[in-house]
Chains A and B, each alone.
Chain A
Amino acid sequence: MGLRTPLYDLHVGQNAKIVDFGGWDMPLHYGSQLEEHHAVRRDAGMFDVSHMAVVDLTGGRCRELLRVLLANDVARLNVYGKALYTCMLKPDGGVIDDLIVYLVSDTWYRLVVNAGTRDKDLFWIRSRAEEYGVSVLERTDLAMIAVQGPNARGKGAALLAPAQQAAVLELKPFSGAAFGSWFVARTGYTGEDGFEIMLPATDAADAWRRLLAHGVQAAGLGARDTLRLEAGMNLYGNDMDEQHHPLESGLAWTVAFEPEDRDFIGRAALQKARRAGCDRLVGLLLEERGVLRSHQKVLAAGAPGEGMVTSGTFSPTLNRSIALARVPNATGASVQVEIRGKMHAARVVKPPFVRHGKTLIDI
């Protein structure tokens, strides 16, 4: 038996197919992964993401610590509640984890990190926090529900008291705010609008039931994966890991090289890689029938070396197979992917494939 979130019994009651995910017993789907996917693109769906770790850092020198620890620069957070997506790197540039950091107050930052990496993340953060006098508190008392889709904000706001609903609907993209013991942020991992709601574990089951009553479709990790891949978002462990740095993982945009005097962990390695050139992460659209899967070999005419699919799936929105792949820098507009011993043509495209319900690539 794995770890269980406060919503586990509700998932079982909804006939979820439960799978192990990073040591957690999580719902893969509640009957049809495709229907859950479409519900998020067309209306509203919700995910139990309580397995992710919420970590609160408090202390007068939080900002100083995070400017060393994170590849993106928390000095960019100039409004309370604002969120920043970033990698946390090893000195050699390898990605320890990708995470979201919120500026709660001048002496309080909140991190949301992946379930499978929580232990090593906490060890890494704690090993440096002490010298800055920063305390690190894992909020195991909180659950997290992501409500996503074109109608998600309206349905999610209905969970709050009438007096709070206007404020939550005014949240700007990528920012959050506290509402009593809840923290609601306009973030997500699907390419749709919506909220991620961090709330006391004791409130979670009631919130889930009320969202169901508002017609929000329960969605599992299966739909979460196809949605994030359509949205061109990386999955830790697939599209980046400790063996690959952000520049070869499509995440150069999350690295703040300016200001030049900010000496974050991994900086020297990334600057060296930037000068030398490196592989790049691209989107692929399979031109033929079939399904791209991680670890399939990618060959490009004229480019030396070979690439690899890091995440692949069937895209329910496009009705085609799509992937993220790490390929040699010189790769052109088309590649061949080896599927069960045969080569299949795929087109190199720029992710995202789908966002806000719209297809963003030529099919």
Chain B
Amino acid sequence: MSNIPADLQYTKSHEWVRRIEGGAVEIGITEHAQSALGDLVFVEVPEVGRAVRAGEACAVVESVKAASDVYSPVTGTVIAGNGALAGKPELLNHDPYGEGWLFRVQTAAELAPLMNAAAYASYLEDESK
């Protein structure tokens, strides 16, 4: 069973969202997503200051085999990208919910419409059927 921390919110495209201080959120991809992608070799995060809309592709993660878009789960402004991933994309494989975070967005959006951990877990189960 995939690791799904209880304190995060999730999307159907396998991003997670963490509420951080000052009305901002941190975004990454789930354990399930990194495992499906395999060894990651290239990550492109959005520029600071970029305005993003919920559902907009704004980061790219590439594994040895394929490239995948990462969608912003919320509408807002990018306030940080994880620069460490440029030199160490494998952080995404080893610590997807910690050091492997992708970008942070300043947002007024409610996270309620996203899935909680239990809902994401059952979504994964349905998807694998």
Identify the A interface with B (CB < 8 A): 17, 28-29, 32-34, 222, 226, 289-291, 293, 313-314, 316, 321, 340
Q: Mark B37-60, 1 if CB is under 8 A from A, else 0.
A: 011011010000000000000001
B86 is an interface residue with CB less than 8 A from chain A: yes
- Report Cα–Cα, A108/B38, bound state, in Å: 43
**B48, chain A: closest CB distance, angstroms:** 18
**Pairs A–B under 8 Å by Cβ, sample size 26:** A29-B38, A32-B38, A33-B38, A33-B39, A33-B65, A34-B39, A34-B64, A222-B38, A222-B64, A226-B64, A289-B42, A289-B44, A289-B86, A290-B42, A290-B62, A291-B41, A291-B42, A291-B62, A293-B67, A313-B64, A314-B62, A314-B64, A316-B64, A321-B42, A340-B60, A340-B67
Q: Mark B18-49, 1 if CB is under 8 A from A, else 0.
A: 00000000000000000000110110100000
- Report Cα–Cα, A293/B67, bound state, in Å: 9
Chain B interface bracket (under 10, 10 to 19, 20 to 34, 35 or more): 10 to 19
Closest to B64 in A: A33
**A175, chain B: closest CB distance, angstroms:** 33
Closest to B66 in A: A293
Residue numbers in A under 8 Å from B39 (CB-CB): 32-34
Residue numbers in B under 8 Å from A222 (CB-CB): 38, 64-65
- Report Cα–Cα, A321/B39, bound state, in Å: 14
**B28, chain A: closest CB distance, angstroms:** 20
Residue numbers in B under 8 Å from A291 (CB-CB): 41-42, 62, 67
**B82, chain A: closest CB distance, angstroms:** 15
Residue numbers in B under 8 Å from A226 (CB-CB): 64
- Report Cα–Cα, A313/B66, bound state, in Å: 9
**B117, chain A: closest CB distance, angstroms:** 25
Residue numbers in A under 8 Å from B64 (CB-CB): 33-34, 222, 226, 313-314, 316
Which DSSP category, helix, strand, loop or mixed, fits chain A's interface?
mixed
- Report Cα–Cα, A222/B42, bound state, in Å: 16
- Report Cα–Cα, A225/B51, bound state, in Å: 39
Residue numbers in A under 8 Å from B60 (CB-CB): 340
Residue numbers in A under 8 Å from B86 (CB-CB): 289
Most chain B Cβ neighbours within 10 Å, of A17, A28, A314, A316: A314
Closest to A226 in B: B64
- Report Cα–Cα, A197/B88, bound state, in Å: 38
Given contacts A28-B65, A314-B64, 15 further A-B contacts (CB under 8 A): A28-B38, A32-B38, A32-B39, A34-B39, A222-B38, A222-B65, A289-B42, A290-B44, A291-B42, A291-B62, A293-B67, A314-B62, A316-B64, A340-B60, A340-B67
Cβ 8 A contact of B41, one of A28, A29, A314, A340: A314
The 4 closest A-B pairs by CB, nearest first: A314-B41, A34-B39, A291-B62, A33-B64
Residue numbers in B under 8 Å from A313 (CB-CB): 64
- Report Cα–Cα, A32/B38, bound state, in Å: 7
- Report Cα–Cα, A34/B44, bound state, in Å: 20
- Report Cα–Cα, A90/B115, bound state, in Å: 55
**A245, chain B: closest CB distance, angstroms:** 29
Residue numbers in B under 8 Å from A29 (CB-CB): 38
- Report Cα–Cα, A33/B66, bound state, in Å: 13
**B17, chain A: closest CB distance, angstroms:** 24
Q: Mark B97-117, 1 if CB is under 8 A from A, else 0.
A: 000000000000000000000
Residue numbers in A under 8 Å from B42 (CB-CB): 289-291, 314, 321
**A335, chain B: closest CB distance, angstroms:** 20
Closest to A32 in B: B39
**A224, chain B: closest CB distance, angstroms:** 12
Residue numbers in B under 8 Å from A293 (CB-CB): 67
**A111, chain B: closest CB distance, angstroms:** 30
Most chain A Cβ neighbours within 10 Å, of B39, B62, B67, B86: B39
Residue numbers in B under 8 Å from A33 (CB-CB): 38-39, 64-65
- Report Cα–Cα, A150/B111, bound state, in Å: 54
Residue numbers in A under 8 Å from B44 (CB-CB): 289-290
Closest to B41 in A: A314
- Report Cα–Cα, A314/B41, bound state, in Å: 7
- Report Cα–Cα, A28/B66, bound state, in Å: 13
**B128, chain A: closest CB distance, angstroms:** 14
- Report Cα–Cα, A226/B62, bound state, in Å: 14
- Report Cα–Cα, A14/B30, bound state, in Å: 24
- Report Cα–Cα, A34/B63, bound state, in Å: 10
- Report Cα–Cα, A289/B64, bound state, in Å: 14
